[in-house]
């Protein structure tokens, strides 16, 4: 079936470096995407979203890139900090009212 998935289950980066977390989706009808951050012992927290009529959106230290041609989504974190250590999930949605479909998650580890 169509699903959302992630290329890398674990990503280790040096503090201060930029991080890139990738996500592939297979549902070409998906038109809304969200990145969530889940810290240990907590529920997922919304980071940033993007609609399919955009290919880039920036937040505070984070950028989401959407490539609809290859059905690829990425989350870029600038100047990664220890507090960025968490599991990151992408989620996709098609049509208002449909449920989000979540990927399996990527663990980001920040080395001091």
Partner 1 sequence: DADVTQTPRNRITKTGKRIMLECSQTKGHDRMYWYRQDPGLGLRLIYYSFDVKDINKGEISDGYSVSRQAQAKFSLSLESAIPNQTALYFCATSDRSSGREKLFFGSGTQLSVL
Q: Which residues bind partner 1 (CB under 8 A)?
A: 4, 9, 32, 34, 41-46, 49, 89, 93, 96, 98-100, 102-105
Tell me the C-alpha to C-alpha distance, in Å, between residue 91 and each of 18, 46, 101: 22, 11, 5
Residue 100 backbone dihedrals phi, psi, to 5 degrees: -70, 145
Closer to partner 1 at the Cβ: 47 or 77? 47
Instruction: Indicate the residue among 70 and 96 with the shorter CB distance to partner 1.
Output: 96
* Residues 18 and 80: beta-carbon distance below 8 Å: yes
Smaller CB separation from partner 1, 32 or 57 = 32
* DSSP symbols for 37-73: EE-TTS--EEEEEEETT-SEEE-SSEEEEEETTTTEE
CB of 93 to partner 1, least distance (A): 5
Tell me how far, at minimum, the Cβ of 41 lies from partner 1, in Å.
Answer: 7
Find the shortest distance in angstroms from Cβ 86 to partner 1.
Answer: 13
């Amino acid at each position: 079936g169509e699903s959302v998935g992630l290329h890398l289950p674990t990503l280790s980066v040096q503090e201060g470096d930029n991080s890139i977390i990738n996500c592939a989706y297979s549902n070409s009808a998906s038109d809304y995407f969200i990145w969530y951050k889940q810290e240990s012992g907590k529920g997922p927290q919304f980071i940033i979203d993007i609609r399919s009529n955009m290919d880039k959106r920036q937040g505070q230290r984070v950028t989401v890139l959407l490539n609809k041609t290859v059905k690829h989504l990425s989350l870029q974190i600038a100047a990664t900090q220890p507090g960025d250590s968490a599991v990151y999930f992408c989620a996709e949605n098609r049509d208002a009212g449909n449920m989000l479909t979540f990927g399996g998650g990527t663990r980001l580890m920040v080395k001091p």
